[in-house]
Structure 1
């Protein structure tokens, strides 16, 4: 594999500047690597070679004439199946949607990437309706983790996680409703950000779901964030433009109050290996002068049933919108889990919404005692590639450390901070609403403080899959 494919975006731009590399050559190398790698990991839902080649040619022409548009100009990236882009399919991971017409509009993230000159190579896989935190789909099958093909990528931005870890592209835009960019980042060793809702515009507008960038390094993540965080009036919650000057400088921890969240009071217990990695980050922060405090359990009572019912309603609503003779094509793990929602009353939905809002305030208030909170991304070190989660009856049930920050609208990043054997282990960095840049800066500092090297699994081989059986 061409070593430039896991270089930083800054290094790529330097190669562009010296003439060592052109955007067209970089695209060719990316497509060649994709062709060799994707049959093994199954991360790419659609390749738009003609569109990517036109964008790379335009970027090459701008570079030759001194009119480059910025840091992302000519850089190959991908977008999730759920992000509309003109001329590309939108399938939402569902086999029943396989015959839908191509998109005729660019969703805000796709529009911003094109304006910046980024080369959108194609779209990445996801599970049905984005309602599983796993890389299993009725349409795409199993997406595999390149660190170990027998292991899951997490979801729902499953293909984004697998493709980036294997060296396909320099960034990806996913979406996050309960952890869907942070969870694949945790499984696959990446960096990701679930922003303050509205900071990265997306459609349809939502107070729960956000688009979010994913990358291999914090600097690459920041480059992507700087593009897709520009406002868009189509998102009701879109926030005003925010100057990003100085965002690449790490935030020194001295004097910061850091909470360490290791017990939600419900859900799967955090494994010893995950605790070890989170505590190692806490130790680094403390050594740098932060005031680090381990937080007591967040909840006295289990808040998840109400939130799970809201997720069930969301999935059931989408299931009912599918043509009746195609509904059986939806993955049973999603369809069967969501089926009880057909019998929920409006009053039940209202009670559940109120209960979730009360739980949301508990998380916000306890987080507000600190400048930042660090926490696991996933309670365990992943699970098998074929699994839909830690509990098949609740495919989002293991999102206990991620889902509540969608409800509080707080920015939360994910960063690999250690390994358990050969598998990456991620941590979250959480800040108050609107402190997205501060979260990224502290994540940058932690990236520099970690005592691991990221030797990306770019050489995956098809013969390894045969050994899984």
Structure 2
């Protein structure tokens, strides 16, 4: 096995006993990038020289006994998470490329812990797509099948994780943007309790979290990045739960029908049902539940985000507005048809989602569902529906937890007949982030070799 494929937990143990150096590891990671990046297009602002220099500095800290919690571990950060000196294009050619003045809180925590941030990762247009389609970045593809999307909006992070560009990748999530690509790429992707990881520029639904090959690495990344930061008024203290779960008597709600959106593929339903059976065999009590959200809730969400995006795009100078992806421009073109009452009602539906989810947790400890109703769709499509008028038909399983702020993580539940990963989602009560990851660790069903060549 290449050093690039080792987990962060394994690398830290080897750095500690001196059997491997961070310099050797970053060399292997960069070799992997050189071999696969021309096809995957997962990275933005790759900095090989800076990475090698940082690895040498980490090597010295290990010798001196001053190494941090992630010292020498290769890490990527999604391009919309600011890193000092690098522009933040947000996946669109319409953005002015102004270098960021400082690291965002998550990136700062990673650097303080000694992580080697060797590259940013790609995202689609304004992060408003569950694909890698962008007017700024090259089209990001899924390492399991280059004809398929890696998902989005943390497209590059998921592709990099599946391809073995090091063990830890950091993304953002406002409706499923960590969990959808993680599910489609076979990764553990955590959207934590909102505020657990400070985002720096908070707004409705937005969270930052890790995408990794193992739950243990996700828990390690969470421990480093979490905590209060004065730049984010929503930020909260680190998690107080532990990386453990008691399965006997665990009350699990099985949600196989979102009640709205695309129908669930039978292969997806079967894989998630098999996950439920595994929990039952371990002593959990599993009960099917009815859909949590409604058509009105999902459409209301669409109306709110449509007008928000239309307002942002309308504020751009005409020459920059023309550079926005045509599918996004088509989506927002109908925003003027919405009344003030429509928009207020749409905003209220986000609270309605949160209320509906919270009600389920008065009875159950976990909500188990598919991450997405389908497996990865063709890479060139902006939306799985290929219809800008119906952009959110695939997020009905993921978006409720953005609105309710509950932590939710993914775990691989198996593979389709075509060899594509199928993700299961585990949502848990507020502040039980590590509990969710422990459950994912118990359920990990990743029985195939990673696509690293």
Q: Same fold (TM over 0.5)?
A: yes
- Other-structure match for 1:175: 172
- Whether the aligned pair in 2 keeps the contact of 1:334 and 1:395 (CA below 8 Å) is no
RMSD, matched Cα: 1.6
- Whether the aligned pair in 1 keeps the contact of 2:226 and 2:237 (CA below 8 Å) is no
- Other-structure match for 1:285: 279
- Other-structure match for 1:10: 9
Match of 1:406 among 399, 402, 406: 402
**Taking structure 1 as the reference length, what is the TM-score of the superposition?**
0.92
Is residue 212 from structure 1 mapped to residue 209 from structure 2 by the alignment? yes
- Other-structure match for 1:24: 23
- Whether the aligned pair in 1 keeps the contact of 2:303 and 2:342 (CA below 8 Å) is no
> Equivalents in 1 of 2:374, 2:450: separation in Å?
21
**Taking structure 2 as the reference length, what is the TM-score of the superposition?**
0.96
- Other-structure match for 1:424: 421
- Whether the aligned pair in 1 keeps the contact of 2:22 and 2:73 (CA below 8 Å) is yes
Within-5 A mapping of 1:267-286: 267-286=261-280
- Other-structure match for 1:253: 247
> Equivalents in 2 of 1:346, 1:203: separation in Å?
29
Match of 2:358 among 364, 367, 372: 364
- Other-structure match for 1:465: none
- Other-structure match for 2:136: 139
The alpha-carbon distance between structure 1 residues 301 and 101, as it changes in their structure 2 partners (threshold 3 A), is closer
Alpha-carbon shift at residue 343 of structure 1 (Å): 4.8
The alpha-carbon distance between structure 1 residues 116 and 321, as it changes in their structure 2 partners (threshold 3 A), is farther
Specify the SS of the correspondent of 2:83.
Answer: coil
> Equivalents in 1 of 2:291, 2:284: separation in Å?
21
1:120-150 deviations in whole A, cap 9, x for unaligned?
A: 0111010010001111111113111010001
- Whether the aligned pair in 1 keeps the contact of 2:239 and 2:431 (CA below 8 Å) is no
Deviates more, 1:305-314 or 1:404-413: 305-314
Match of 1:88 among 86, 89, 95: 86
Match of 2:102 among 105, 110, 114: 105
- Other-structure match for 1:201: 198
1:188-229 deviations in whole A, cap 9, x for unaligned?
A: 000011111111110212241101111011111111111111
- Whether the aligned pair in 1 keeps the contact of 2:174 and 2:204 (CA below 8 Å) is no
- Whether the aligned pair in 2 keeps the contact of 1:155 and 1:181 (CA below 8 Å) is yes
Alpha-carbon shift at residue 334 of structure 1 (Å): 1.2
Specify the SS of the correspondent of 1:47.
Answer: coil
Alpha-carbon shift at residue 242 of structure 1 (Å): 3.4
The alpha-carbon distance between structure 1 residues 299 and 241, as it changes in their structure 2 partners (threshold 3 A), is closer
- Whether the aligned pair in 1 keeps the contact of 2:239 and 2:433 (CA below 8 Å) is no
- Whether the aligned pair in 2 keeps the contact of 1:79 and 1:172 (CA below 8 Å) is yes
> Equivalents in 2 of 1:95, 1:11: separation in Å?
39
> Equivalents in 2 of 1:159, 1:80: separation in Å?
7
> Equivalents in 1 of 2:58, 2:430: separation in Å?
36
Alpha-carbon shift at residue 380 of structure 1 (Å): 1.0
Alpha-carbon shift at residue 25 of structure 1 (Å): 1.8
Match of 1:453 among 425, 447, 451: 447
> Equivalents in 2 of 1:11, 1:405: separation in Å?
32
- Other-structure match for 1:315: 309
Specify the SS of the correspondent of 2:148.
Answer: strand
1:154-202 deviations in whole A, cap 9, x for unaligned?
A: 1000000111101112111100000000000011000011111111110
Match of 1:161 among 158, 161, 164: 158
Deviates more, 1:121-130 or 1:349-358: 349-358
> Equivalents in 1 of 2:111, 2:319: separation in Å?
37
Alpha-carbon shift at residue 335 of structure 1 (Å): 1.6
> Equivalents in 2 of 1:193, 1:78: separation in Å?
15
> Equivalents in 1 of 2:336, 2:54: separation in Å?
45
Aligned residues: 450
Specify the SS of the correspondent of 1:122.
Answer: strand
Is residue 387 from structure 1 mapped to residue 364 from structure 2 by the alignment? no
- Whether the aligned pair in 2 keeps the contact of 1:264 and 1:400 (CA below 8 Å) is yes
Alpha-carbon shift at residue 34 of structure 1 (Å): 0.8
**Structure 1: runs of 5 or more not aligned:** 460-469
Specify the SS of the correspondent of 1:306.
Answer: helix
- Other-structure match for 1:38: 37
> Equivalents in 2 of 1:429, 1:136: separation in Å?
28
